[in-house]
């Protein structure tokens, strides 16, 4: 296991919304460089950067037009190389976003693949045999090419799927097997892209839709074969670089496929959802919620099997949020957000902080879709640095901004929270530093459940010599627990320590060290 990942806390940056240094209304790479000291002071020692490749931006950069070129709106390759050098000076690591499953339909590979005459890219994408061949079980774009055939897309119509083959071939006249030369030519093209950036010195990749490569591969067997091949290449040539998957299946991603870590995503009725996002109408059944009435056992039933099978192979990544989910204030108040941060920073795995979550930036429900964001657009608004023009994001006129800033009177800002006791920012900063100063709270220390009951609060768990008590409910709860002189390392809200009991007040967190 790569040593640096063990004690990392990541900060995710959506670059177009982070900091604009040239007053064009869009965040840029010099803006990221300018805020490295801020990120490190927060306690984060690594960054995941959303796509910065050249793109027509129909899906916010996940529609890649050129994997080896920086999008001009973010700056130049020189700006990127300067950012990377400045990060490494500060002993910080950089993950780039790898988009392996599809490209933009403006990519030169696809422009060649669309041609009637066969060429080296004809099999780089998935085309049916003829334009009249359009099986309903696949998402196909029809009648758009000079070539006689229809092509598969992964998500939006502008994102043709790259050809990694089919695990079960149903239509042999146009489907290639997952072990075919055509499929593995795509794998080698992917490795070439990765080597380009790894040779520049980046520290690894977060992999978008990592489970989506091979088609008709329900058990992800052939997809795992690809990632094991990629991992072998990295271990041999770039042993300090890491792969983190967008998958949310530790068995398949970490154990079977060789990823160093896997994101715990918000999927309906999974553990992450039960913790933070389990809302139906006005009823919020999340464990972390105002008027909390969630069930910690629903989380544990999902989390424990994944943790148990993967803990000797890699890490599960808890994230405060990301660019695809409504921000936490849509579900919970600042008091509960602080408890959720305390939980994430004392659990096993690699934590990820989404930009702006350190000040509880709000989710906007009033915005028109931007660059394919749709309902996700409200989580991608500009970072709120201070009380100056555009909250310090940009000197551009308001109408030029990538997205409008939150101009509500009580909009949170870094300036308004930094140095303020009890703020979301200072709470998170303190928790990150406690985690980093105590190896038992990092990734390799065992996780043990001390108290967890069906439809009850609190949740109590042990990490080495530390014991954490978390009670998002409004009610004071007592737990049989012999503290035996344990020292209080951190607390939110109130608590009482008796001879053989610990009483944890409502909306409170307590961390003890024996």
pLDDT tens for the chain, 514 residues long, are 688 999 999 999 999 999 999 999 999 999 999 999 999 999 999 999 999 999 999 999 999 999 999 999 999 999 999 999 999 999 999 999 999 999 999 999 999 999 999 999 999 999 999 999 999 999 999 999 999 999 999 999 999 999 999 999 999 999 999 999 999 999 999 999 999 999 999 999 999 999 999 999 999 999 999 999 999 999 999 999 999 999 999 999 999 999 999 999 999 999 999 999 998 888 999 999 999 999 999 999 999 999 999 999 999 999 999 999 999 999 999 999 999 999 999 999 999 999 999 999 999 999 999 999 999 999 999 999 999 999 999 999 999 999 999 999 899 999 999 999 999 999 999 999 999 999 999 877 889 999 999 999 999 999 999 999 999 999 999 999 999 999 999 999 999 999 999 999 999 999 999 9
The Cα 300–Cα 306 span in angstroms is 10
Same-domain status, 228 and 305: yes
Structural contact between residues 347 and 447, judged by C-beta atoms closer than 8 angstroms = yes
Q: Is residue 173 a part of any domain in this protein?
A: no
Of 413, 437, 461, which residue sits at a domain end?
A: 437
Query: Residue holding tokens 């997205």?
Result: 403
Q: 3: which residues sit within 8 A by CB, 6+ positions away? A: none
Same-domain status, 197 and 60: yes
Q: Is residue 166 a part of any domain in this protein?
A: no
Sign of CA dihedral 266, 268, 273, 277: positive
- Residue 234's φ and ψ, nearest 5 degrees, are -70, -40
Of 387, 413, 437, which residue sits at a domain end?
A: 437
Q: Is residue 167 a part of any domain in this protein?
A: no
Same-domain status, 108 and 235: no
- CATH code of the domain in which 14 resides: 3.20.20.80
Which residue segment(s) compose the domain that 150 sits in? 102-161
Q: Is residue 168 a part of any domain in this protein?
A: no
Its pTM surpasses 0.75:
yes
Same-domain status, 359 and 477: no
Same-domain status, 41 and 152: no
Of 418, 437, 456, which residue sits at a domain end?
A: 437
Q: Is residue 174 a part of any domain in this protein?
A: no
The Cα 19–Cα 297 span in angstroms is 41
Same-domain status, 269 and 362: yes
The Cα 315–Cα 476 span in angstroms is 33
Same-domain status, 224 and 282: yes
- CATH code of the domain in which 469 resides: 2.60.40.1180
Q: Is residue 176 a part of any domain in this protein?
A: no
User: DSSP for 397-428?
Assistant: -GGGSSS-----TT---HHHHTT-TT-HHHHH
Same-domain status, 194 and 311: yes
Same-domain status, 109 and 64: no
Same-domain status, 430 and 455: no
**What torsion do the CA atoms of 433, 434, 440, 442 make, to the nearest 10 degrees?**
-40
Q: Is residue 175 a part of any domain in this protein?
A: no
Same-domain status, 129 and 204: no
Neighbour-count burial of 397, counting CB atoms closer than 10 A to its CB (0-12 exposed, 13-18 middle, 19+ buried): exposed
Structural contact between residues 325 and 272, judged by C-beta atoms closer than 8 angstroms = no
Across the strands, what pairs with 96? 49, 205
Write out the E strands in 168-270: 204-207, 242-245, 261-263
Residue 150, both tokens: 């229809």
Q: What radius of gyration, in Å, describes the C-alpha atoms of the chain? A: 24
Work out how many domains the chain is built from and give that number.
3
Q: Is residue 410 a part of any domain in this protein?
A: yes
- CATH code of the domain in which 142 resides: 3.90.400.10
- Please, what's the b/e burial string for 155-178 (b: 16 or more CB within 10 A of its CB; e: otherwise)? beebbbbbbbbbbebeeeebbbbb
Same-domain status, 418 and 479: no
Across the strands, what pairs with 54? 66
């Amino acid at each position: 296991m790569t040593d640096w990942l063990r004690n990392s806390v990541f900060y995710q940056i959506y670059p177009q919304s982070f900091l604009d240094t040239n007053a064009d209304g869009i965040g840029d790479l010099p803006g990221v460089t300018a805020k490295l000291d801020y990120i490190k002071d927060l306690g984060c020692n690594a960054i995941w950067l959303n796509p910065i490749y050249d793109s027509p931006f129909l899906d916010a950069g996940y529609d890649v037009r050129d994997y080896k070129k920086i999008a001009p709106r973010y700056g130049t390759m020189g700006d990127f190389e300067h950012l990377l050098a400045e990060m490494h000076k500060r002993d910080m690591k950089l993950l780039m976003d790898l988009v392996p499953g599809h490209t933009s339909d403006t990519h030169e590979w696809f422009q060649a693949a669309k041609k009637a005459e066969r060429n080296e890219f004809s099999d780089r994408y998935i085309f049916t045999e003829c334009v009249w061949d359009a099986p309903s079980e696949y998402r196909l774009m029809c009648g758009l090419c000079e070539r006689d055939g229809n092509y598969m897309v992964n998500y939006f119509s502008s994102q043709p799927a790259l050809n990694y083959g089919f695990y079960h071939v149903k239509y042999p006249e146009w489907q290639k097997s997952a072990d075919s030369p055509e499929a593995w030519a795509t794998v080698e093209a992917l490795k070439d892209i990765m080597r380009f950036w790894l040779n520049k010195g980046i520290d690894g990749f977060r992999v978008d839709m990592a489970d989506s490569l091979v088609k008709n591969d329900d058990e992800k067997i052939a997809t795992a074969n690809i990632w094991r091949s990629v991992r072998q290449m990295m271990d041999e040539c770039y042993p300090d670089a890491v792969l983190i998957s967008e998958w949310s299946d530790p068995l398949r991603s970490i154990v079977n496929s060789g990823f160093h870590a896997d994101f715990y995503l918000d999927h309906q009725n999974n553990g992450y959802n039960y913790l933070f996002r389990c809302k139906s109408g006005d009823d919020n059944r999340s464990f972390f919620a105002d008027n909390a009435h969630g069930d910690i056992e629903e989380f544990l039933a999902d989390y424990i099997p994944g943790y148990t099978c993967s803990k000797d192979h890699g890490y599960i990544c808890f994230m405060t949020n990301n660019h695809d989910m409504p921000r936490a204030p849509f579900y919970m108040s600042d008091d509960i957000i602080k408890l959720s941060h305390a939980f994430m920073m004392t659990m096993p795995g690699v934590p990820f902080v989404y930009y702006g979550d350190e000040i509880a930036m709000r989710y906007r429900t009033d915005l028109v879709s931007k660059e394919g964001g749709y309902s996700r657009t409200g989580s991608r608004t500009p970072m709120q640095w201070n009380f100056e023009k555009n909250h310090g994001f940009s000197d551009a006129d308001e109408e030029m901004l990538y997205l409008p800033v939150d101009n509500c009177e009580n909009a949170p800002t870094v300036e308004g929270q930094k140095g303020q006791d009890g703020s979301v920012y200072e709470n998170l900063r303190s928790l990150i530093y406690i985690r980093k100063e105590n190896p038992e709270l990092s990734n390799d220390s065992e996780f043990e459940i001390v108290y967890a009951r069906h439809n009850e609060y609190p949740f109590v768990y042990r990490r080495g010599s530390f014991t954490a008590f978390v009670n998002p409910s409004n009610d004071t709860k007592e737990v049989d627990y012999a503290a035996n002189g344990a020292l209080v390392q951190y607390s939110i809200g109130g608590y009482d320590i008796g001879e053989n009991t610990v009483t944890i007040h409502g909306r409170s967190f307590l961390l003890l060290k024996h």
